[in-house]
């Protein structure tokens, strides 16, 4: 079997073929079905405004643990032993988290917080260790490219914008906008703001 360029623990991408959901993933989901059941029972026992706020916080904590873990397992291969062990350890922590929910704001708060932190931190560390260094190194560049693409702004357009717009022009536009709401006196000059600034935005 050829090496997976995405990483040894990652799922191999096969064109026109979906990845199979494993029994370990289904069992992990059942743990969080139990957690949501615990959250709903907690709300029933504390059907007050304060109880609603507390239940919302508990639900968000459960939701984010489940979402991030399922996202990771969509990339990692649960049929491999290290990933399967990760899932079972997360299930164990998930059971601790779930059983702590009814008294998370009372005597079981430390247990809930410890289980939550262990799941979030442990899963993230496993993800970083299993990701090839070359892929980790380009995450920042990928994020910048994604943001620029989402805004339909090219890198060259950003450079040209920075060359054209000086600090004086930016300060003048700011003052004009604020003067519309009478937030600053209209007679203030941009020079009051830019005396110590570079000539253009590109020199930051």
Q: Let me know the angle formed at the C-alpha of 107 by 104 and 109, rounded to the nearest 5 degrees.
A: 40
- Find out whether 153 and 30 touch, Cβ atoms under 8 Å: no
Q: Domain check: are 129 and 165 in the same one?
A: no
Q: Domain check: are 50 and 99 in the same one?
A: yes
- Whether 33 is covered by a domain: the verdict is yes
**Left (φ > 0), alpha (ψ -120 to 50) or beta: where does 48 sit?**
beta
**Does position 50 have pLDDT exceeding 70, yes or no?**
yes
Q: State mean pLDDT over 114-141.
A: 77
User: What's residue 178's pLDDT?
Assistant: 64
Kindly report the average pLDDT of the chain as a whole number: 76
For 96, the domain range is: 23-137
Higher pLDDT: 166 or 90? It is 90
Q: State mean pLDDT over 59-85.
A: 87
> What share of the chain has pLDDT > 70, as a percent?
58
User: What's residue 204's pLDDT?
Assistant: 47
- Whether 16 is covered by a domain: the verdict is no
**Left (φ > 0), alpha (ψ -120 to 50) or beta: where does 2 sit?**
beta
Half-sphere exposure of 91 (CA within 13 A, CB side): 16
Instruction: Return the structure tokens found at 160.
Output: 């040209």
Q: Domain check: are 117 and 178 in the same one?
A: no
**Does position 48 have pLDDT exceeding 60, yes or no?**
yes
- Whether 12 is covered by a domain: the verdict is no
**Does position 98 have pLDDT exceeding 90, yes or no?**
yes
How do residues 138-188 score in pLDDT, each as one tens digit?
Answer: 455 555 665 656 566 666 776 776 666 666 666 676 667 666 655 545 555
**Does position 2 have pLDDT exceeding 60, yes or no?**
no
Q: Which residues contact 19 (CB under 8 A, 6 or more apart)?
A: 11, 74
Higher pLDDT: 61 or 78? It is 61
User: What's residue 116's pLDDT?
Assistant: 93
- Whether 147 is covered by a domain: the verdict is no
Q: Which of 103, 137, 171 is the last residue of a domain?
A: 137
- Whether 146 is covered by a domain: the verdict is no
- Whether 95 is covered by a domain: the verdict is yes
Q: Domain check: are 125 and 70 in the same one?
A: yes
Higher pLDDT: 93 or 134? It is 93
User: What's residue 1's pLDDT?
Assistant: 43
Q: State mean pLDDT over 100-111.
A: 91
CA distance 65 to 56: 14
The kind and range of the H/E element at 129 are helix 109-130
Q: Which residues contact 151 (CB under 8 A, 6 or more apart)?
A: none
């Amino acid at each position: 079997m050829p090496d997976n360029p995405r990483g040894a623990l990652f799922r191999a991408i096969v064109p026109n073929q979906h990845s199979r959901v494993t029994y370990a993933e289904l069992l992990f989901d059942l743990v969080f079905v139990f957690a949501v059941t615990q959250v709903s029972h907690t709300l029933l026992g504390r059907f007050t405004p304060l109880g609603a706020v507390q239940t919302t916080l508990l639900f968000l904590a459960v939701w984010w643990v489940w979402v991030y873990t399922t996202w990771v397992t969509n990339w990692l291969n649960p049929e491999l032993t290290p990933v399967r062990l990760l899932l079972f350890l997360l299930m164990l922590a998930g059971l601790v988290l779930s059983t702590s929910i009814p008294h998370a704001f009372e005597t079981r708060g430390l247990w809930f917080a410890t289980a939550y932190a262990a799941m979030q931190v442990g899963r993230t560390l496993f993800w970083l260790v299993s990701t090839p260094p070359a892929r980790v190194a380009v995450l920042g560049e990928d994020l910048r490219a994604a943001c620029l693409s989402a805004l339909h702004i090219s890198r060259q357009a950003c450079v040209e914008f920075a060359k054209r717009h000086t600090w004086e022009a930016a300060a003048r536009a700011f003052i004009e906008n604020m003067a519309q709401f009478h937030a600053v006196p209209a007679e203030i000059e941009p020079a009051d703001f830019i005396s110590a600034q570079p000539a253009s935005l590109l020199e930051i």
